[in-house]
Amino acid sequence: MNIVVVGLSHKTASVEIRERVAFAPTQMEKPLKAVVSLDDVAESVIVSTCNRVEIYATTRDIAGGMARLKRFLADFHQIPHETLEPHLYAHHGEAAIRHVFRVAASLDSMVVGEPQILGQIKTAYGYAAEFKTSGIILNRFLHKAFSVAKRVRTETKIASSAVSVSFAAVELARKIFGDLSDKTVMLIGAGEMCELAAKHFLNNGARGVMVTNRTYERAVKLAEEFDGKPVAFEDLFDQLHKADIVLSSTGATHYIIRPKDVEEVIRRRKLKPMFFIDIAVPRDIDPKVNDVENVYLYDMDDLQSVVASNLQQRAEEAKKAEAIVDGEIGQFAKWLASMEVTPTIVALRSRFDEIRKAELARTVAGWKDLPPDGEKRLDALTSAIMNKLLHPPTSTLKRTGQGGRTDLYVDALRVLFDLQTGVPEGEELEELEE
């Protein structure tokens, strides 16, 4: 049985194409069942996110299976095959395994290390399990992919630092204040960036928001949106000491907050630290404010350089992650190979024969008055019994030949008769089931 991957991602297709081939999460039954009803396709899992649409399937006929899956994607979404074809990639064998491991570990993501993709694949797998389109091979394959992703996350720092400006600001605030739950955010001015950052602070536990604007009505309106408190612009310096985190983004052409203002404010706060984030261009806050004791000022450039260095760090961590993925492929490929019918029958026969020969030798050695042709006859007898016993399972396996049922039998035989597989078993398997 072979694992094949067919799909497209942000690397091969524009958003216009991606949205056309996306599957609606509430209607996964139909496509999943359609895939397994394709000729020679046994199992399927469909992953559909805004950045990628991929079908994972098992087939005996690699080239034919991949072609049918490509055709299915085009037909299902009523897109001409020629239009879709250039955007599609198809992998089989170790390349397919590597691809899925990398996707799950977020190494193939637009923002490498972003954590959502793993959850999305888990959801996709959930649908396949629900509609019973994934079987023994894909079950184990995806569990392995999850465990690889988990290893990557715990053993590398691939997802440990912020890669967006607003998250970088939240992270800095955490290093200054520790817990954000009793911290108040002051918004000066308005603007998308500023509001986004304020939202991030609130999502990360900040207690409340104060909003000020040159136009008081706008302050009131924005305050309502954040369930915060509006402050008249003239009262800014009367209220500023109540804020721990200040986000500024006004259209002012000169500095509106100067060091001496902040010195006054910080004195009123009994030197409790403050974090100023100046998103405005031109800047609202005099850079010298950063020199005031216990005050930290970051402007847009500073935040962007934090993000840039985090991205660079992620790229370095990604190298370690690739090594982890490489190390895991071999083991899984070995298991997959063992799932073939012929090697399983050979292994089963040799296991039986081993036992038969050992027992025969023991009996013969302890039998003093054994007739001259006794050993030959015993050998014939035991061989006959063994062959008779092995006949039904062997012929059943050969007959079913293809499809998910064979994989099930093969797996059962390997487990029941303890045939060497090179698979994750016992402890490791339990770990995968988490």
**Where in 309-328 is the site for other proteins (CB under 8 A)?**
309
Please say which residue, 125 or 177, places its beta carbon nearer to other proteins: 177
Helix H or strand E segment including 211 = strand 208-213
From the CB of 275, what's the least distance to other proteins, in Å?
9
Among 123, 164, 290, 394, binds other proteins (CB under 8 A): 290
Among 127, 201, 296, 332, binds other proteins (CB under 8 A): 296
Name the DSSP class of 227: T
Instruction: Tell me if 27 contacts other proteins by CB under 8 A.
Output: no
**Where in 342-361 is the site for other proteins (CB under 8 A)?**
none
Please say which residue, 119 or 287, places its beta carbon nearer to other proteins: 287
The region of 94-102, 185-193, 304-312, 404-412 touching other proteins under the rule CB under 8 A is: 304-312
Bridge partners, 211 (sequence order): 187, 230
**Where in 125-164 is the site for other proteins (CB under 8 A)?**
157, 160-161
Instruction: Tell me if 176 contacts other proteins by CB under 8 A.
Output: yes
Instruction: Tell me if 83 contacts other proteins by CB under 8 A.
Output: no
Bridge partners, 299 (sequence order): 278
* Number of Cα atoms under 13 Å in the Cβ half of residue 181: 1
Instruction: Tell me if 294 contacts other proteins by CB under 8 A.
Output: yes
The region of 86-94, 216-224, 263-271, 383-391 touching other proteins under the rule CB under 8 A is: 263-271
Among 16, 39, 82, 175, binds other proteins (CB under 8 A): 175
Please say which residue, 292 or 345, places its beta carbon nearer to other proteins: 292
50 given a catalytic annotation:
yes
The tokens for 406 are: 């064979």
From the CB of 266, what's the least distance to other proteins, in Å?
9
Which residue type sits at 380?
A
Cα 149 off chain centre by: 6
The region of 85-93, 137-145, 291-299, 393-401 touching other proteins under the rule CB under 8 A is: 291-299
From the CB of 161, what's the least distance to other proteins, in Å?
7
Residue 161: partners with Cβ closer than 8 Å, 6 or more residues away: 171, 310, 313, 314
The tokens for 336 are: 């997959």
Among 150, 151, 174, 356, binds other proteins (CB under 8 A): 174
The region of 76-84, 127-135, 298-306, 374-382 touching other proteins under the rule CB under 8 A is: 298-306
Alpha helices in 291-373 (DSSP H): 300-338, 341-365
Among candidates 255, 227, 258, which has minimal Cα distance to 240? 258
The tokens for 180 are: 């954000």
Among candidates 18, 195, 193, 199, which has minimal Cα distance to 110? 18
Among 273, 343, 393, 422, binds other proteins (CB under 8 A): 273
From the CB of 160, what's the least distance to other proteins, in Å?
7
Among 118, 172, 243, 325, binds other proteins (CB under 8 A): 172
| C-alpha to C-alpha distance for 140 and 414, rounded to whole angstroms | 15
> Of the listed 30, 37, 50, 374, which one is catalytic?
50
In whole angstroms, how far apart are CA 154 and each of 94, 99, 158, 183, 319?
A: 24, 20, 9, 30, 15
Among 43, 195, 302, 411, binds other proteins (CB under 8 A): 302
| C-alpha to C-alpha distance for 402 and 1, rounded to whole angstroms | 8
From the CB of 203, what's the least distance to other proteins, in Å?
19
Helices 341-365 and 300-338 pack at an angle, to 10 degrees, of: 50
- The DSSP line for 357-378 is HHHHHHHHHT-TT--TTHHHHH
Bridge partners, 213 (sequence order): 232
Among 298, 338, 345, 410, binds other proteins (CB under 8 A): 298
- The DSSP line for 5-28 is EEEEETTTS-HHHHHHHPPPGGG-
Instruction: Write out the residues near other proteins by the rule CB under 8 A.
Output: 157, 160-161, 172, 174-179, 269-273, 290, 293-294, 296, 298, 302, 305-306, 309
- Give the residue numbers annotated as catalytic, written as ranges: 50
